[in-house]
Every structure is written in C-alpha cells, then in structure tokens.
Structure 1
Amino acid sequence: MGQPLDDAALDTIFRTARTANHYLDKPVGEDLLHAVWDLMKWGPTSANQLPARIVWCVSDAAKARLAECASGTNGPKIMAAPVTAIIGMDENFHEHLPELFPHVDAKSWFDGNRELRAASAFRNSSLQGAYFIIAARALGLDVGPMSGFDGGAVDKAFFADQPGVSTNFIATLGFGDPASVHDRLPRPPFERFNRIA
C-alpha cells in the first residue's frame, strides 16, 4: 500500500510545477533521459500495452528537423531547449503483448482490428505521456508539452521506418528558467467540473 507524498513532493510534481517556456543553459545528460523512462515505464497501461515510442531530440540536427514541423513560436522553443521528446504511439503494440502480458493471449484481442488498436494506442500513449511529465518533474526537470506541429511531417521525419508509429505530442525538456514562467492560470474547484454519482 502506498503512502501519501509530502507537500514538497506534491508541489514539485503538481502544485508549483509549471510549463517551461525557456530553459537555463544547463545540459540534460543521457543518464537523466534513461531515468525518465525507467520511472515512467512503471505507470499502468491497459494490459501493459506500453504503446509509447519516444524519440529524444538532443542533437542540433534532430531539433532542427523537428522545428521545421512546428508552428508559431514552437520552432524556436524546440531549438533552444536542451531536449525535445516526441511521444509517439505504436498501433502495432499488440505484437509485443506475448512478452509484456504473457498470462493470456491478449494479442488475439487486437489482431485484425486496426480501429481498436489505434484507439488503444492513443489512449495508453497519452497516459504514458502524462507519466513522462510526472517522471521528469520528479527527477528535477521541467517540461513544455506542445501540440502546435504538423503530425504528418513529424511522422515522415522521425517514424518513416516504423509505419505503425505516429506522433501523439511533443515536449521540450530541461531545467526551466523561472524568469520565463507565465502567471498561473485558473484551476477551478471540484464542484465546477466534477460530480459524484
């Protein structure tokens, strides 16, 4: 049984954590990228599908290719960030289920049903994207998730050799510059968007 986190941890992950717009000139080592994955992979997905496929754009060349696919101010943000992660989703995740979910024939649930695979890949890779953000914050990093990009162009540039993989969203990653953070936007109380039935 888990134990509640203390206020400092909750602040780091949620309450005082902010979307990063700009980053300090401080590198993010590959060991931290591995640490993000090694933490986020424990988050639950349906039947342990783990459909997320991540490309970590670290080199200037990779960031430039990705920036060309972005809209508005996202391109310069990608170039300036130490790392930008492409959170992709593999609709052929079911091919790995004999290993990842071995106690039943879960692969057969998805064989021949591309619509079901696509919906499940999107839902579960979105969950993994949220785990990515939480894991990065828990490890002292800041994140700038974004959806202003041409998904087809990103797929062509980064997933052309994996036809079953497409882009869900992208996110810059690094040590955020506190001076660049916008004022906190409203977060409504429970009663506004919730009901107990």
Structure 2
Amino acid sequence: MTVQANMTDTTPVAPAALAEFEAEFADQLELAADAQDLLFRAARTANSFSDEPVTDDQIRAIYELVKYAPTAANSQPLRIVFVRSDAAKERLLPLMSEGNRVKTASAPVVALLAVDNDFHEEMPKVFPHAGETMRDSLAQNAEGRAAMARLSAGLQIGYFIIGVRAAGLAAGPMAGFDAEAVSLEFFPDGKHDVLVVVNIGKPGENPWFDRNPRLDFTEVATIL
C-alpha cells in the first residue's frame, strides 16, 4: 500500500469542485485560501524528484514546526532517521518494494518514521506533572503502551507530512517496504518499528498521477 502526498503542484484539479468549495466554505476557515491550497487542495503525490537538495536547515525547520502535534499525554514516540547519503540509500533501496525503488532513489532525502516502543522512558521529560507515575504504569502495561505508541506516532506522522508541505516540498509517504528489515537495518536496537517511509524533495519530471476522488462529507460524517 502506498499513501503519499505532495503540496508543490499548484495546477487546479477538478476546478469546478474547487471553485464551489472556495465559494461556499473557504471563508469559514481562518487559514488563508492560498495556504489551504498549499497544505491540502493543491497537495499532490510526487512520483519523481528533482536533484535540488533538501538542506539541514529545512529538515530542522520541519521538525521544529511539527513537534507540536497533539499526542496522548504529550508522549513523543516518533523517531526519525533521514537517509540522504549514497551509502545509506544503498542500504535502504533493496528493502523497498520494487515499485517504490526508483522514486525513493530519486528523492534527495528519505525519512524513516518509526515508533519507539520504549517511549515511556521519556515521559518525565515531556509530561512533568505526572510523568514518572505514567512511565511506571506504562512499563507494566505492554499492551496499553503499544496502543498509545501507535496512536501518538500516527498523529505525529500526519503532522510531519503537513510540515513537509509547509516547507514547499513534496512528501511521499509509503508503506511498500520490508518493515521488519528496515527497522533492524536502521534501528538495530530492536526497540523501534518503522511505520512509514517518506520521500522528500522538489518534484521532478512528470511527477503526478491523476488525482483520485474523495468521499463526500455526507458519506463519512454525521452531525448529531
């Protein structure tokens, strides 16, 4: 399965539907319409990348923005390895699904987003009022700790993708890889599980597939 998103394509998709949305709902949002487009409506999946580098400053800026993602009890289970060097790419590419190798190879940076299964050890740092108590409780509850870790890491991953878009870059999250092998290769302590691999960079030549439809509000939501 591949779940990807990219925000650098500003070519309108389904312009009639977009115009209808903007006319009816855009003024209900505090975020400026161009920022709405940047982060959401014009966001697209890049399947190729240019050779324009992604800098350390951009990587740091993304993290400093998305670290404020909401999580359970302010837990911070997400851990990231940024793969950029040729040597690191050579370790990663054989572990990607065949259909994802070319785009991963072309991305200037690839982020491996993992969950730290021992995240509870950090709770006194991030939840100072009751962090020690929560740490000790989670240490005795492996099932509850795992559920909390996956939920919170998933929230952080969603915000990470938005942060990449906010930096003017394409974010291409993928689940098409050997998760166990990637986890052991890049987190050899055995305490981390890589959940998503994210290609990051500026889009390259012919980067876009056609946008697939989304479900309508009335198909997914109920107001009681």
TM-score range, shorter chain: over 0.9
**C-alpha displacement of 1:87:** 0.3
**C-alpha displacement of 1:25:** 1.8
**C-alpha displacement of 1:72:** 2.2
Whether the aligned pair in 2 keeps the contact of 1:58 and 1:82 (CA below 8 Å) is yes
Aligned to 1:140: 168
Gaps of at least 5 residues in structure 1 are none
CA distance in structure 2 between the aligned counterparts of 1:124 and 1:74, rounded to whole angstroms = 26
CA distance in structure 2 between the aligned counterparts of 1:109 and 1:16, rounded to whole angstroms = 44
**C-alpha displacement of 1:76:** 1.7
Deviates more, 1:187-196 or 1:52-61: 187-196
CA distance in structure 2 between the aligned counterparts of 1:90 and 1:118, rounded to whole angstroms = 9
For residue 176 of structure 2, what is the amino acid of its counterpart? G
CA distance in structure 2 between the aligned counterparts of 1:64 and 1:194, rounded to whole angstroms = 45
CA distance in structure 1 between the aligned counterparts of 2:80 and 2:217, rounded to whole angstroms = 34
Aligned counterpart for 1:128 among listed residues 148, 156, 159 = 156
Equivalent pairs: percent with the same residue?
42
Deviates more, 1:124-133 or 1:177-186: 177-186
Whether the aligned pair in 1 keeps the contact of 2:51 and 2:106 (CA below 8 Å) is no
Aligned to 1:64: 90
2:125 aligned with 1:99, yes or no?
Answer: yes
Whether the aligned pair in 2 keeps the contact of 1:60 and 1:79 (CA below 8 Å) is no
Q: How does 1:1-197 map to 2 (within 5 A)?
A: 4-104=30-130, 105-161=133-189, 163-177=190-204, 179-197=206-224
CA distance in structure 2 between the aligned counterparts of 1:14 and 1:177, rounded to whole angstroms = 20
CA distance in structure 1 between the aligned counterparts of 2:101 and 2:158, rounded to whole angstroms = 22
TM-score of the superposition, structure 2-length normalised? 0.83
Tell me the C-alpha RMSD between the 2 structures.
1.3
Runs of 4+ in 1 over 4 A off after TM superposition: none
**C-alpha displacement of 1:107:** 1.2
For residue 118 of structure 2, what is the amino acid of its counterpart? N
CA distance in structure 2 between the aligned counterparts of 1:182 and 1:47, rounded to whole angstroms = 39
CA distance in structure 1 between the aligned counterparts of 2:32 and 2:205, rounded to whole angstroms = 23
**C-alpha displacement of 1:68:** 1.0
